[in-house]
Amino acid sequence: MSHWEPAHRASVRHRVAVEAARLLYTREYREYFQAKRVAAKRQGTIHLPSNREIHEQLLHIARRLEGDEHRLRVESMRRAAVKVMERLEAWLPRIIGSVWTGHIRQGSDIDINCYCDEVEAVLAALSDWGPELVIVRAKEQEFQHVHLLDVEGYACEITIYDWAQRYEHPRCSIRGGPMPRGTLAELRGLLTRPDKPTGSWRQGPWQIEGLYACQGVLQNGYHHADVFDHTMEVVAGVQRMLTDGFARFPEWAEKLKECVDGPLLLLAAYCHDLGKPATQSFTQDGRIRFIGHERGSAQLSEHIARRLGLIDCERRELVALVAQHMETHLAVDGPPSRIHAMFRAVGKRMPELALLSLADVEAARGPAQTEIHLEQQKDFVDFLLQQYFEQGFLANPCLPVSGEELLEQFGDLDHRTLTRILNQLRDDYVDGDFESQEEGLSLASEYLCDPHYR
């Protein structure tokens, strides 16, 4: 375990959740109860995660291993679900489970609830798919399920509730709080395909406005070159990593080849210090400072991205990489929550940010730069890659408190307030300030009394 990774109980429980999710994803075990106990034994601990924590890690595994295939399968299953729900529209169908939340894995099926007192009418509406009625008795209750074996290639299960129950909102046994579910209209709304990276800008070469304004802009003692020459060395360093197939990171080289967006990383290297000329200042003793240059660089990057024709998701990723490039130097000595904040800011582009930071530090060879600092940055980059590729606690922490539970506990919170509180709770949780759901809800109530969060 690296000294950057927290050693508190939540971090230990996270590792169990990741291992349990892996066991479920590979179908070594099919029940959460079994998987979490086997995982805890393998990790040498008695601390068990909640089903919701395991559920969240399942999604991360599926997205990482399946990439675009996962996204396309979710979309395909949702389109199949729309066809079923259209047949059930008179009975208020609600899609639930993994197809609605996106937490699908190999073997997932489509789960739908509807409300009707005449099961024969439902069977007639679904007759094209050869419906099979199954009666299940549990806890002195009788549940009616309709199984469809092949809807666009997917299995589907419809649970029929009495019409009188249509206003009841069931609780989720995995996530806690009200069960996530969607109407037919809401499901159709999810089926707008997000934009995908594309465009001729990737071929280069690029005209980078503001780059030549960096010539002759002197820097502080960590640097041996002006801003322009430093930028060119960073670009060259990034290019070497791309050309040699990330040979410096043998443990992660193959995975880096699969996931790193080379053109985006190179463009970020060109843009990362564009804000320095406008922010250069001098202290009374002659020291050079560039306070807030990363924000200025990010603003210029957005303009460049729009001119080059980057689509929205590419533009956001470029701006995030440039805005966060200083954090990779500052977070080395910060609390765990500061490291997690980087993951939250750049998402799947953490490998690019880590590589950019290393090229940035290695291109700074002024008298204030030390071998110890260079070695520490290389170790930190290794740690960030390990967190990203092994689903580490700082990359994917799962809060014991969900947004649904906050809404259930405190009423109708607006989106801004809910987001602020969840982000603050996540930082507190990563830093070990609380561990349980009860403690999290108590902290949330304190934050709600603070005008800053309203």
What is the assigned CATH class of domain 68-190?
A: alpha beta
Per-residue model confidence as pLDDT tens digits over 43-63: 899 888 888 889 889 888 887
Q: How far does the chain reach from its first CA to its final CA, in angstroms?
A: 38
Per-residue model confidence as pLDDT tens digits over 13-44: 999 999 999 999 888 998 899 999 999 999 89
User: Hey, is 292 helix, strand or coil?
Assistant: coil
Q: Is the pLDDT of residue 137 over 90?
A: no
Rounded Cα gap, residues 41 and 62, in angstroms: 24
Domain ranges of the chain: 9-66, 68-190, 200-389, 403-453
pLDDT band at 197 (very low <50, low <70, confident <90, very high): low
Q: How many residues does the chain have?
A: 454
Q: Is the pLDDT of residue 118 over 80?
A: yes
Element (H, E) at 251: none
DSSP-derived secondary structure for 179-248: PPEE-HHHHHHHTSPPP-S--GGGG-----TTSGGGTT----TT-SS-HHHHHHHHHHHHHHHHHTTSTT
Rounded Cα gap, residues 126 and 120, in angstroms: 10
* Nearest Cα residue to 11 out of 453, 450, 383, 429: 429
Element (H, E) at 159: strand 154-161
- Dig out the tokens for 25 from the structure: 């994803």
The C-alpha torsion from 428 through 432 and 438 to 443, rounded to 10°, is: -30
- pLDDT higher at 176 or 396: 396
Per-residue model confidence as pLDDT tens digits over 62-109: 877 777 788 888 999 999 999 999 999 999 999 998 899 887 877 789
Q: Please state the pTM of the whole predicted model.
A: 0.78
* Strands 288-290 vs 280-282: parallel, antiparallel or unpaired: antiparallel
- pLDDT higher at 170 or 347: 347
Per-residue model confidence as pLDDT tens digits over 258-275: 999 999 999 999 999 999
Phi-psi region of 445 (alpha: psi -120 to 50; beta: other; left: phi over 0): alpha
The residue whose two tokens read 């765990």 is 336
Q: Is the pLDDT of residue 164 over 70?
A: yes
pLDDT score recorded for residue 408: 86
Q: In a 10 Å sphere around its CB, with 0-12 CB exposed, 13-18 middle and 19+ buried, how is residue 124 labelled?
A: exposed
Per-residue model confidence as pLDDT tens digits over 403-453: 888 988 998 888 889 999 999 999 999 999 998 889 999 999 999 998 877
Which amino acid, one-letter code, is at 289? R
pLDDT score recorded for residue 256: 96
Write phi, then psi, for 213 (nearest 5 degrees). Answer: -70, -15
Q: Is the pLDDT of residue 193 over 80?
A: no
Query: What is the average pLDDT score of the chain?
Result: 90
Write phi, then psi, for 157 (nearest 5 degrees). Answer: -125, 125
pLDDT score recorded for residue 373: 86
Q: Is the pLDDT of residue 196 over 80?
A: no
User: Hey, is 411 helix, strand or coil?
Assistant: coil
pLDDT score recorded for residue 194: 52
Q: Are 342 and 331 in contact (CB under 8 A)?
A: yes
pLDDT score recorded for residue 415: 87
Interhelix angle for 350-362 vs 336-346, to 10°? 110
Phi-psi region of 25 (alpha: psi -120 to 50; beta: other; left: phi over 0): alpha
pLDDT score recorded for residue 83: 96
Per-residue model confidence as pLDDT tens digits over 308-324: 999 999 999 999 999 99
- Dig out the tokens for 59 from the structure: 């999604």
pLDDT score recorded for residue 40: 93
pLDDT score recorded for residue 107: 77
Rounded Cα gap, residues 298 and 296, in angstroms: 5
Q: Is the pLDDT of residue 250 over 80?
A: yes
Q: Is the pLDDT of residue 195 over 60?
A: no
